[in-house]
Amino acid sequence: MSLVCVTQQVYTTMMFSGERQHPASVLHLEERRLEKLTQDEIKYEIKRRISELSGKELNEFAQSVYASAEPYKILDYFCHKYLNQADLQLDLSKRLKQWHRKYKQDHPVITSRNFYRFSSRLVTLLRALRIPQLFNNMLAVIKAFFGDVWTAIFEWWTGKQRERDEKSKKDDKSKK
C-alpha cells in the first residue's frame, strides 16, 4: 500500500533502528469509512472507464452497482468484466446478473447465519472427535476475531448443546 501526499513544507524526519536509517512518518492518519457512492458518481466513473455505453445501458449498469452492498468493489469488478468482453453472447442485464452472482461466489460475506451454521457444525465435529483442547482453542479464536458479542452467542449456543447432549444421554440410560 502506498500513500502519496502533496505538502507545502519539506519533511525529512528520520528514525534509526538496528543501526539503519528509516523514514518516520509525520502524518497522523485516522481510518475513515468510505461514503456510499451516489448514482451520479457511479455514472461518471462508468463513463470515464467505458465510453461506448448507451444512455439506457449506462443507467442499467449504474443501477446494478448502486444496489450492491459493496459498490466500490462491484464497480471495479463489473468494469473489468465489461472491458474484457466477458459473456458477450448475453445482453447487458443478464451479464450484470451473472457477474453479480459470480462476484458473490468469489467474495463470500460472513453473516451471522453463515457463522452460526459453521460454528454448529464445527462444535458437533469437535465433540464427536472428543477433542476438548481444540474446542477451547476455537473459543479463543472466536473471542479474538469476533469480540464479546459472538463469544456470548457461542457460549450460549454451546451451553444449549451441552444441555441437549446431557438430556439425550439420560434418555438413552433410562431406555436401557
Residue 21: its pLDDT value, please?
Answer: 60
Amino acid at 58: L
Domain chopping of the chain, boundaries: 39-106, 112-168
Render pLDDT for 116-139 as a digit per residue (tens, 0 to 9).
Answer: 777 777 777 767 766 666 666 666
Q: What is the tens place of the pLDDT at every residue in 27-48?
A: 666 677 778 889 999 999 999 9
Measured from the Cβ of residue 99, the count of other Cβ atoms closer than 10 Å reads 20
The continuous run of DSSP H or E covering 16 comes out as strand 14-17
pLDDT of residue 154: 64
Q: What is the pTM of this model?
A: 0.51
Q: 67 exposed, middle or buried (CB, 10 Å; 0-12, 13-18, 19+)?
A: exposed
Residue 79 has pLDDT above 70, yes or no: yes
Asked if residue 86 has pLDDT above 60, the reply is yes
| Selected residue with higher pLDDT from 94 and 23 | 94
Mean pLDDT for the chain overall: 76
